[in-house]
Amino acid sequence: MATGRPTHPADRGRPANRGRGIPEATVARLPLYLRALTALSERSVPTVSSEELASAAGVNSAKLRKDFSYLGSYGTRGVGYDVEYLVYQISRELGLTQDWPVVIVGIGNLGHALANYGGFASRGFRVAALLDADHAVVGTTAAGLPVRHMDELEDIVEEEQVSIGVITTPPGAAQQVCDRLVAAGVTSILNFAPTVLSVPDGVDVRKVDLSIELQILAFHEQRKSGEEGAEQAAAPAPAKASAPARAAAKLRRTAATATTAAAGTDGDLPAVMPA
Amino acid sequence: MATGRPTHPADRGRPANRGRGIPEATVARLPLYLRALTALSERSVPTVSSEELASAAGVNSAKLRKDFSYLGSYGTRGVGYDVEYLVYQISRELGLTQDWPVVIVGIGNLGHALANYGGFASRGFRVAALLDADHAVVGTTAAGLPVRHMDELEDIVEEEQVSIGVITTPPGAAQQVCDRLVAAGVTSILNFAPTVLSVPDGVDVRKVDLSIELQILAFHEQRKSGEEGAEQAAAPAPAKASAPARAAAKLRRTAATATTAAAGTDGDLPAVMPA
DNA sequence: TAGATTGTTAATCGATTAACAATC
DNA sequence: TAGATTGTTAATCGATTAACAATC
């Protein structure tokens, strides 16, 4: 709290944040602010307060102001933030004022969905090519673009200066595709395959996992209906019964009708171990 | 560090974690462990060390052991963890030993992709119904299931005891769909529409945003090629030039060819303000 | 027993939040 | 000036990590 005391000695002369470092948590929220601001901009709203913008973005206003403080002093006390100006500043900070060619590898259902996703083009992302290994898919079109064969990957990445690759292949193919993308010069990968990818230093990987989010929801859903109970089942005896037996005792309950989902396979997406 | 000193008095007699609370960060990683363990299980690997499993899941072993400590003592010192036993315990903790009927609302490209996604069924998630408001889509089939009309939503949720809904509609429809789901009794929502949803207390919402991940990659990609530079552009003058002018001075650079992606629209996914 | 590996401690790090002085 | 709202401080909270005693 600023209680009227002088600035703490250790903080004197220190910039808001050392050097270039914007916290990861802040970076992850900038797209949310940008979306809310873009909506305001389309409605020709000239200025917005931290309170209004925070509510539109689904965060609290203290967090928003703190986040913005890492970018600079872009607001006006007593007034708020200029919408257009802030849209520009956040876009620039995120790197969206430049064109980002991306390749999408694996044109199944999800690849199709992404190729058609409007939220990309509007933010500077341009689909440079759609690639697939299956000759039955190559030559068809998706979102107005021809699906090209994996063989062309290296040429396309070089010619189009692609630095971002999107992987929507089955998990068994993901690491190979990743390796080829990296070898060709791609340094950022968005991975939709449920596989842990290994990449060399300097390459960023982000992961979107459709089933993980659902599993997290199930966890919380489970504790809504009666805290415990419902999910009763007999724990299978572990191979070495010694230590786990202690634990098993803790949760001993009546036998029940639990399906052994855990022991099932991954359906058409068999999990693959990383190298 | 455990330096041989006795347990800190405040910690004496305290359970590993008070009551039911497993940290959110831990819950979010349990699906990763489960996937790696399932792969080991399919290869009939009987036991695994924290080091091996952590590497397969893409985390470090200290974090993994800490995470598991919230679940209980399921390992054996000097040996490791029994794979089958741990698969079961994590599945149970996540609530995956029971059947979770879900409805998917909005059967466009993404809805199709999700309906076909194999990672759901194998983890106890069962698609109870596919719903769409468009009569041109209703009656077609996706993943072997008929697409039904939104009018049936309430009946289906009640009859099938659906507690989880997946929204893959355009953003303009998301809040309405969300309201109907909640009114019908759904208490967990997985939202793929780029919209902030407002829900009453007791309803969980998780969000998957396809373009946000790409924007975060762009942010990091931007600082790889030359720290700064590349993304030079003249900042547009803010409406009120007073305060922002100071900030603008900080970043004044030469004019450039930046595309104004930021001012663009959301393509076929126009952003919508929350209520 | 000796070697291996867990479960837990405690330090550190990073993120969140409320509060308020600064300032429009 | 009075009212409004930012930018920043400092407290708190939660997550990560290395280290190692406990224990198989």
Chain segment A169-214, per-residue pLDDT in tens: 999 999 999 999 999 999 999 999 999 999 999 999 999 998 999 9
Contacting residues 203-262/A vs strand D (CB within 7 A): 240, 242-243
The topology (CATH level 3) of B19-94 is: Arc Repressor Mutant, subunit A (1.10.10)
**Subunit contact A236:B88, Cβ cutoff 8 A:** yes
- Annotate A83-118 with b (16+ C-beta within 10 A) or e (fewer): bbbbbbbbbbbbbbbbebbbbbbbbbbbbbbbbbbb
- pLDDT given for residue A114 in this prediction: 95
Pairing of strands B145-149, B141-142: antiparallel
Of B94, B217, B224, the CB nearest to A215: B94
Q: Does B95 touch chain A if contact means CB atoms closer than 8 Å? A: yes
| CA-CA-CA-CA torsion sign (A59, A61, A62, A64) | positive
- pLDDT given for residue A12 in this prediction: 29
Nearest in space to A242 (alpha carbons), one of B149, B246, B57, B73? B73
Question: Residue ranges of A for the binding site for NAD(+)?
Answer: 106-111
Query: How far apart (Å, rounded) are the C-alpha atoms in residues A35 and A123?
Result: 10
Q: Structural domain boundaries of chain B?
A: 19-94, 100-210
- pLDDT at A104 exceeding the cut of 90: yes
Contacting residues 60-79/B vs strand C (CB within 7 A): 61-62, 65-66, 68-69, 73-79
- pLDDT at A11 exceeding the cut of 50: no
- pLDDT given for residue A119 in this prediction: 84
**Subunit contact A122:B212, Cβ cutoff 8 A:** no
Rg (CA), chain A: 25
Residue that the structure tokens 């303000």 belong to: B273
Please give the share of chain A, as a percent, with pLDDT higher than 90: 70
- pLDDT given for residue A118 in this prediction: 83
Residues of chain B with pLDDT under 50: 1-19, 227-234, 237, 239-275
- pLDDT given for residue A21 in this prediction: 87
Conformational region of residue A108, where left means phi above 0, alpha means psi within -120 to 50, and beta covers everything else: beta
Residues linked to residue A164 through DSSP beta bridges, in sequence order: A102, A188
**Class for domain A100-210, per CATH?**
alpha beta
Under a CB-based contact definition with an 8 Å cutoff, are residues B131 and B150 in contact?
A: yes
Q: Does A118 touch chain B if contact means CB atoms closer than 8 Å? A: yes
Residue type, A130: L
Nearest in space to A191 (alpha carbons), one of A173, A215, A216? A173
* DSSP letter, residue B251: T
Q: Which residue in B has a C-alpha nearest to residue A268's C-alpha?
A: B118
Other beta carbons less than 10 A from residue B100's beta carbon: 24
Would you state the structure tokens that stand for residue B187, as one six-digit string? 């208490």
Confidence of residue A226 (pLDDT cuts 50, 70, 90): low
**Subunit contact B239:A85, Cβ cutoff 8 A:** yes
Give me the mean pLDDT over the A149-164 stretch. Answer: 98
Confidence of residue A246 (pLDDT cuts 50, 70, 90): very low
- pLDDT at A75 exceeding the cut of 50: yes
Q: Is B104 labelled a binding residue?
A: no
Using alpha carbons, list the distances in angstroms from residue A182 to A144, A158, A267, B189, B219: 27, 12, 28, 36, 18
- pLDDT at A222 exceeding the cut of 80: yes
Judging contacts by C-beta atoms under 8 Å, the chain A residues touching residue B270 are: 42
Pairing of strands A100-105, A164-167: parallel
Confidence of residue A122 (pLDDT cuts 50, 70, 90): confident
User: Counting beta carbons within 10 angstroms of the beta carbon of residue B13, is it exposed (0 to 12), middle (13 to 18) or buried (19 or more)?
Assistant: exposed
A235 or A98: whose pLDDT is higher?
Answer: A98
Pairing of strands A164-167, A188-191: parallel
- pLDDT at A126 exceeding the cut of 70: yes
Query: How far apart (Å, rounded) are the C-alpha atoms in residues A53 and A50?
Result: 5
Q: Does A185 touch chain B if contact means CB atoms closer than 8 Å? A: no
Q: Which residue in B has a C-alpha nearest to residue A244's C-alpha?
A: B74
- pLDDT given for residue A178 in this prediction: 98
- pLDDT at A142 exceeding the cut of 50: yes
Give me the mean pLDDT over the A233-258 stretch. Answer: 35
Closest protein residue to C6 using CA and C1' atoms? Answer: B77
Confirm whether pTM is higher than 0.85: no
- pLDDT given for residue A72 in this prediction: 93
Give me the mean pLDDT over the A39-46 stretch. Answer: 97
- pLDDT given for residue A225 in this prediction: 75
Query: How far apart (Å, rounded) are the C-alpha atoms in residues A206 and A174?
Result: 13
Q: Lowest mean pLDDT: which of A120-134, A171-185, A261-275, B181-195?
A: A261-275
Strand C within 7 A of A50 CB: no
**Subunit contact A190:B214, Cβ cutoff 8 A:** yes
Mean residue pLDDT across chain A: 80
CATH number of A17-93: 1.10.10.10
Q: Which residues have a Cβ under 8 Å from the Cβ of B94 and sit 6 or more positions away?
A: A215, A218, A219, A222, B27, B30, B31, B34
- Please check whether the two domains, B19-94 and B100-210, share a CATH topology: no
Please provide the DSSP assignment of chain A as one string.
---SPPPPGGGTT--SSSTT---HHHHHHHHHHHHHHHHHHHTT--EE-HHHHHHHHTS-HHHHHHHHHHH---EETTTEEEHHHHHHHHHHHHTTTS-EEEEEE--SHHHHHHHT-HHHHTTTEEEEEEEES-TTTTT-EETTEEEEEGGGHHHHHHHTT--EEEE-S-HHHHHHHHHHHHHHT--EEEE-SSS-----TT-EEEE--HHHHHHHHHHHHHTTTTSSSSS--PPPPPSS-HHHHHHHHHT---------GGGS--TTS------
With vertex at residue A267, the alpha carbon angle to CA A265 and CA A269, rounded to the nearest 5 degrees, is 100
